[in-house]
């Protein structure tokens, strides 16, 4: 069994694999203030609730963009699953080549997405990952991770708008039925949601224009739920591409 843990700024996602089949995905909100005991309780409760059986011979991989959680999560995961632990970082074999200015600054979350894209969809592929930030990532026709565009995510955009406009209310992001907002809440949601949609589709179009060729397109990330029914039909919606990428990496490193 492989346990693939993807720690983002918004969610911690856990993929449970048996013989390379994704059995379950579990998730909980990222909270840097949680103690090891609290993290242990959350994870063991999720495993029990979802009837996940495991033993101490399980292999674990951790990808994290929240450094303050790395040590407590490693301690909790190895306590639950055993010591076969791999932290995605420098020196880990990924099977993905990079053609960027500084490969060392590429986050492990982006690497997981690209490895998942390469192994599931082939090349060239553009992955749009909607999390705390919205990332547009390119796996080019030669199989290199060679470019990215990063913008504020949907939730951040909404919060920034509310926090910086004295007369604007706080909104819970919802997909409005129409672009034409007839009240403040609908108008804000229209701008946030449909504006984000147009930004994504525009960036992807510009990627392809600069490249001079078409790419497969994948939409992923927790906030993809807001756009999955609105996005251009060329996009495949795949919420598991990162944990599947981590599973490929884990298998590559354990032989």
Does residue 209 carry a catalytic annotation? no
Q: Packing angle between helix 108-121 and helix 241-254, nearest 10 degrees?
A: 90
- Give how far Cα 243 sits from Cα of 24, 109, 156, 182, 240, Å: 11, 10, 24, 41, 6
CA proximity to 153, closest of 133, 173, 137, 170: 133
What tokens were used for 56? 């101490």
Point out the catalytic residue in the list 109, 113, 129, 238: 109
Strands 97-98 vs 144-152: parallel, antiparallel or unpaired: parallel
Residues with active-site annotation: 109
């Amino acid at each position: 069994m492989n346990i693939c843990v993807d720690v983002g700024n918004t969610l911690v996602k856990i993929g449970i694999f048996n013989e390379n089949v994704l059995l379950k995905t579990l998730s909980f909100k990222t909270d840097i203030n949680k103690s090891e005991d609290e993290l242990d309780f959350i994870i063991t409760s999720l495993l029990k609730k979802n009837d996940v059986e495991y033993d101490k011979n399980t292999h674990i991989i951790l990808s994290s963009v929240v450094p303050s959680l790395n040590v407590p999560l490693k301690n909790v995961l190895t306590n639950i699953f055993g010591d076969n632990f791999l932290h995605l970082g420098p020196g880990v074999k990924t099977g993905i080549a990079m053609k960027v200015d500084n490969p060392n600054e590429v986050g492990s979350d982006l690497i997981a997405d690209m490895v998942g894209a390469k192994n599931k969809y082939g090349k060239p592929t553009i992955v749009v990952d909607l999390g705390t930030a919205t990332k547009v990532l390119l796996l080019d026709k030669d199989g290199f991770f060679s470019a990215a565009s990063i913008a504020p995510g949907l939730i951040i955009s909404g919060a920034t708008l509310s926090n910086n406009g004295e007369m604007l209310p706080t909104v819970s992001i919802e997909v409005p039925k129409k672009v034409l907002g007839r009240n403040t809440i609908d108008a804000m949601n229209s701008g946030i949601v449909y504006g984000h949609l147009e930004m994504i589709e525009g960036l992807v179009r510009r990627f392809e224009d600069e490249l001079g060729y078409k790419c497969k397109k994948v939409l992923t990330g927790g906030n993809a739920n807001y756009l999955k029914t609105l996005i251009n039909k060329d996009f495949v919606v795949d919420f598991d591409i990162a944990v599947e990428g981590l599973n490929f990496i884990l298998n590559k490193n354990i032989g």
